[in-house]
Amino acid sequence: MVSMMKVTAIMRYGDDAFEERRVPRPVAAEGQLLIRNCATGVNNIDLMIRRGELAQAAQLPFVPGVEGAGVVETVGAGVSQFEAGQRVMWFGPFAAGGYGQFVCIDARYVAPIGEEITFFAAAATPVAYVTAHHMLFDYGRLKAGSWVLVRSAAGGVGVAALQLARNAGFRAIALTDKTKHDFVLANGAFAAFDYKESSMFDQVMQLTKGRGVEVCLNAVAGSTIAEDLMLLSPMGQVISFGHLAGPPTGSAADLLMTHFTKSIGIRVSDIYTYYTADPVGLSATLSKIATDLRAGRIVPQVFDVQPVAAVAKAHTYLEAGTVRGKIVISID
């Protein structure tokens, strides 16, 4: 007899997208863990799938959810570092199915969590902190005292970047709405400026004594890539990892040749390139993040927890742009 489980699937694109369904429970293959999923983080990729922006890659019906936390149910062949009943957090592939009761995840993308860590905090950790860690430490080539500019600093990746930068001795400048300045300063920002103020450029340059910043972490794109290039120090780089304001504007000549004598760069960063191209590296990063989480060196900020039956509300909150940290869904 086939064991069944509940999932919340996207059945159609748009606001009225979700329906609960019953589907066969997955079985752990070699090298995998079957995890009874207790919570899953909500990410922008979930919103893009629901809106039909990734229709070619996510055919309906589709169960979103690429990260989460729960308890190991069964251990696949060849896995020795985990056991049934263990509390874990996981980072899954595009089709991991985190809006479901069970997920099968390769063991290398799973990390243990202690009893003191809630499933909600753990579910808010993998995507945001692995993304931020990858950009700061694999791309940035930063050293203690380096300046880092973080746009959307009150979001999930933004908060992760601020905390990791603070822990490494970097000086992070948070760009966000004024109402969120106290929040980002409490989470590790060295300074916070309002991205809407025309004086923002002068404020950053004054703070850095005219040098500029070594790295800009940019989840916004649109016209902001060109703005960030003006704020870079020599040899600095803008890392574009999101498009909240649409694709970057301007040609390569417009963006780069103006700053030729500073030898600066623009790069894009998609965490799933890291996931597929360097699984050993991502696994090591997730392990480091889990160690920091257990030690209290990082503290995920959970803005709200919604039951899976109210997943549409969770999406609405994230789309509204008022979230501070992460939205998490509780899986029953």
Give me Rg for the CA atoms of the chain.
Answer: 20
DSSP state of 62: B
Q: Structural domain boundaries of the chain?
A: 4-125+300-330, 128-272
Q: Is 9 helix (H, G, I), strand (E, B) or coil?
A: strand
Q: Is 180 helix (H, G, I), strand (E, B) or coil?
A: helix
Convert the pLDDT of each residue in 94-141 to its tens digit: 999 999 999 999 999 999 999 999 999 999 999 999 999 999 999 978
Cis preceding linkage at 64, omega within 30: no
145's tokens: 């005292």
* Intervals of the chain under pLDDT 70: none
Determine the CATH number of domain 128-272.
3.40.50.720
Looking at 3.30.70.260, 2.40.110.10, 3.90.180.10, 3.30.470.20, the CATH number of the domain 4-125+300-330 comes to 3.90.180.10
- What pLDDT does 321 receive? 86
DSSP state of 13: S
- What pLDDT does 244 receive? 85
Cα dihedral 218, 242, 156, 109 in deg (nearest 10): -120
Residues forming a β-bridge with 79 = none
- Nearest of 112, 138, 113, 70 to residue 285 by alpha carbon: 138
Q: How far apart are CA 98 and CA 297, in angstroms?
A: 26
pTM of the predicted model as reported, rounded to 2 decimal places:
0.96
Judge whether 29 and 105 are in contact, CB under 8 Å: no
Q: How far apart are CA 170 and CA 146, in angstroms?
A: 5
CB atoms within 10 A of CB 302: 20
Convert the pLDDT of each residue in 227-268 to its tens digit: 999 999 999 999 999 988 888 888 888 888 888 889 999 999
- What pLDDT does 187 receive? 98
- What pLDDT does 251 receive? 85
